[in-house]
Amino acid sequence: MKQAEPPSLSALIQALCCLPGIGKKSAQRISYHLLQRDRDGANSLALALTDAMEKIGSCERCRNFSEAPVCGLCLSDKRDGSLLCIVESPADVFAMEAAGYNGKYFVLMGHLSPLDGIGPQELGLDKLAAYLAGAPDTGAGGDVREVILATNSTMEGEATAHYINEIVRKYQIRVTRIAHGVPLGGELEYIDSNTLSHALAGRSEVP
Amino acid sequence: MKQAEPPSLSALIQALCCLPGIGKKSAQRISYHLLQRDRDGANSLALALTDAMEKIGSCERCRNFSEAPVCGLCLSDKRDGSLLCIVESPADVFAMEAAGYNGKYFVLMGHLSPLDGIGPQELGLDKLAAYLAGAPDTGAGGDVREVILATNSTMEGEATAHYINEIVRKYQIRVTRIAHGVPLGGELEYIDSNTLSHALAGRSEVP
């Protein structure tokens, strides 16, 4: 069996297995595809990987991925600095942008998870406090008037939102949580009962 | 939207999209995972990619992937040189090895597909002819006594097998095709009718 496979091919298959959602079989298929049909693509992927790992760090203010010390979103003066949206990951920033949000962000890069050793320190909550207080080096200038908690609607996300709520209240800043309920286009009979009871509790007056 | 993503991250997502089975969304998820949790893995993947693309070529005899001019399987003297199994891809070599086959291989690296410009030349059938004739530089020494056609059981695979059959016959060498029928553990009611009629036509005497 081993004889049939050059060592550098085994190494490539092994390395591909480290990608999330890629198992042994897919890794093999991908390797064969690259070797047979797309060697240029493989070389540019290698370059892109090295390049991204080298250049991309965290924004000093919002902790989002950034090549510069402070990211474009934080520096932009076209965005509403009085709104601060707190999300778990950079992917959530994307989702919020697509939804039309135009304020600033703070990216936790995870959620509270004591069992995995992820506490307030790891989520940069001290940095968040400094941001809200308007410490000179955060560039926030203390003009945040509303903090929007947009952590995921999971157990951990809710716990994290609750914890951050306690911090923000100290600064007499308004705290809101994004609404949970029936998704647009969702049919009641297919919605889980927890979501539905949430939607019921959060009902609003018909204008 | 663009503002939210550093250019090297966009480039990485773009490059990951060239992998088969990976779309925009998976590419994004993989990039985020690597940046947040597995930068070492990403760097070793980059190395493995470059390394494999640089080192791996084709075996001069069997056309399988190989780092050396002639691959380990072709050079091995523990394998039966009188059997030559013809398969479409290196993945098929793996499957045959797992099934306990112990002869030599010839890997077509594809199948006849005139519409895609893949003809006998692209499949190295001239090399196969030289191999069967026992040309000195092929190292085969003309001792092949049976050619086993193990191309896929698809339209293209069957056409390719048919074409190769015509070539091999010229050398008065026995040609066989792997059996098609009901897979072990397969239940008749769930087998498609083509396979079943094949299995019926290919029935053998109970000893």
pLDDT digits (tens, 9 = 90+) for B170-195: 888 999 999 888 888 878 888 888 88
Contact B20 A30 (CB under 8 A): yes
Could you give the 3-state DSSP secondary structure of residue A85? Answer: strand
Q: Name the token pair of A54.
A: 């080298």
Q: What is the DSSP letter of A115?
A: G
Examine the pLDDT at A3 and tell me if it is beyond 80.
Answer: no
Could you give the 3-state DSSP secondary structure of residue B104? Answer: strand
Could you give the 3-state DSSP secondary structure of residue A113? Answer: strand
Query: Which amino acid type is present at position A197?
Result: S
Query: In sequence order, which ranges of chain B are alpha helices (DSSP H)?
Result: 7-16, 24-37, 39-55, 72-75, 90-98, 125-133, 155-169, 193-201
Q: Which residue, chain included where needed, has tokens 């001019």?
A: B69
Q: How far apart are CA B195 and CA B119, in angstroms?
A: 28
pTM: 0.78
Q: Is A103 exposed, middle or buried (0-12, 13-18, 19+ CB in 10 A)?
A: middle
Considering CB atoms only, which of B46, B52, B91 is closest to A50?
Answer: B46
Examine the pLDDT at A203 and tell me if it is beyond 90.
Answer: no
Residues of A in Cβ contact (< 8 Å) with B29? 20-21, 91
Q: How far apart are CA B42 and CA B38, in angstroms?
A: 6
Cα-to-chain-centroid distance, residue A78:
22
Examine the pLDDT at A136 and tell me if it is beyond 70.
Answer: no
Q: Is B59 exposed, middle or buried (0-12, 13-18, 19+ CB in 10 A)?
A: buried
Q: Is B167 exposed, middle or buried (0-12, 13-18, 19+ CB in 10 A)?
A: middle
How many of the other CB atoms lie within 10 Å of CB of A60?
16
What's the pLDDT tens digit per position in B113-162? Answer: 989 889 999 999 999 998 888 766 666 556 888 999 999 988 999 999 99
CB B112 within 8 Å of CB B159:
yes
Which residues neighbour A127 within 8 Å (Cβ) at sequence distance 6 or greater? A63, A138
Contact A19 B4 (CB under 8 A): no
Q: How far apart are CA B24 and CA A37, in angstroms?
A: 20
A-B Cβ pairs (cutoff 8 Å, strict): 184
ipTM of the complex: 0.79
Contact B30 A20 (CB under 8 A): yes
Q: How far apart are CA B8 and CA B12, in angstroms?
A: 6
Contact B97 A12 (CB under 8 A): no
Interface subset of A 39-98, CB within 8 angstroms of B:
39, 41-53, 55-56, 64-67, 71-73, 76, 89-91, 93-94, 97-98
What's the pLDDT tens digit per position in A84-93? Answer: 999 999 989 9
Which residues neighbour B55 within 8 Å (Cβ) at sequence distance 6 or greater? A6, A8, B67
Closest approach of chain A CAs to the CA of B18, in angstroms?
A: 7
CB B155 within 8 Å of CB B88:
no
Picking from B56, B196, B183, B77, the residue whose alpha carbon sits closest to that of residue B139 is B77
Residues of B in Cβ contact (< 8 Å) with A52? 8-9, 11-12, 31, 34-35, 42
What's the pLDDT tens digit per position in B49-97? Answer: 999 999 999 998 899 999 999 998 888 888 988 999 999 999 899 889 8
Confidence band of A4 (pLDDT split at 50, 70, 90): low
Q: Is A28 exposed, middle or buried (0-12, 13-18, 19+ CB in 10 A)?
A: buried
Which residues neighbour A8 within 8 Å (Cβ) at sequence distance 6 or greater? B48, B51, B52, B55, B56, B67
Supply the pLDDT for residue B1: 45
